[in-house]
Amino acid sequence: MAQFIKGQSGNPAGKPAGAKDKRTELRNLLRPHAERLFQKTVDLALAGDTTALRLCLDRLCPALKPQAEPISLDTTGNDVTTLAAEVFRAATAGELALDEAAALTSMLLNRARIADADEANRNVEMALRRIEALQNDMTILDIRRIDKQVEEAIKQKCTSCHKKRR
């Protein structure tokens, strides 16, 4: 993969530095006429022009975004699958709006991901502890093996010493 060279553009034919956005240029052209343009839009709306009316109303009263009431779910002792089934049941029974059910389901998915990550972390920690314990056991086994070898060597020396004395 090619590396970028420091100080050199990755797209030399791209937009030059300091170039203005076309939308900014258009806004600057409209700015001196803004008051008259808004007044004209209002006049057209009052005269029955539905497009101008829609523009005015959209600026005065933007569309409301749904704001759900807080929902209480008993989550104690329930797994994510059970809770998701409860959300689905409430949505299909008309007790929850679909956007509320979608938000709750998204929250439940996030909860499940967090739980999975926590479990993975616990499993890694447990595996590391087991590896450490095995390493300790191996050290103990090595020490015992060495001790046995030393004992055997001592016995052999002692046996050979006893044979020489006789």
- Which tens digit of pLDDT belongs to each residue from 4-37? 777 777 777 777 777 778 888 888 898 999 899 9
Q: Give the pLDDT of residue 110.
A: 93
Instruction: Determine, yes or no, domain membership for 23.
Output: no
Asked if 128 and 107 touch (Cβ cutoff 8 Å), the reply is no
Instruction: Determine, yes or no, domain membership for 107.
Output: yes
Residue 85 sits in the same domain as residue 153: yes
Residue 54 sits in the same domain as residue 124: no
Q: Give the pLDDT of residue 44.
A: 93
Residue 46 sits in the same domain as residue 94: no
- Averaging pLDDT over each range in 4-13, 100-109, 129-138, which range is the top one? 100-109
Residue 56 sits in the same domain as residue 119: no
Instruction: Determine, yes or no, domain membership for 95.
Output: yes
For the chain, the domain total comes to 2
Instruction: Determine, yes or no, domain membership for 137.
Output: yes
Instruction: Determine, yes or no, domain membership for 160.
Output: yes
**At which residue do the structure tokens 């087991």 appear?**
130
Instruction: Determine, yes or no, domain membership for 72.
Output: no
**At which residue do the structure tokens 């016995």 appear?**
155
Instruction: Determine, yes or no, domain membership for 12.
Output: no
Which tokens is 119 given? 């479990």
What domain range includes position 158? 80-165
Question: Does pLDDT of 159 surpass 70?
Answer: no
Q: How far apart are the first and last CA of the chain?
A: 81
Average pLDDT rounded to a whole number, residues 38-48 = 92
Residue 85 sits in the same domain as residue 140: yes
Q: How far is CA 34 from CA 20, 22, 37, in A?
A: 21, 18, 5
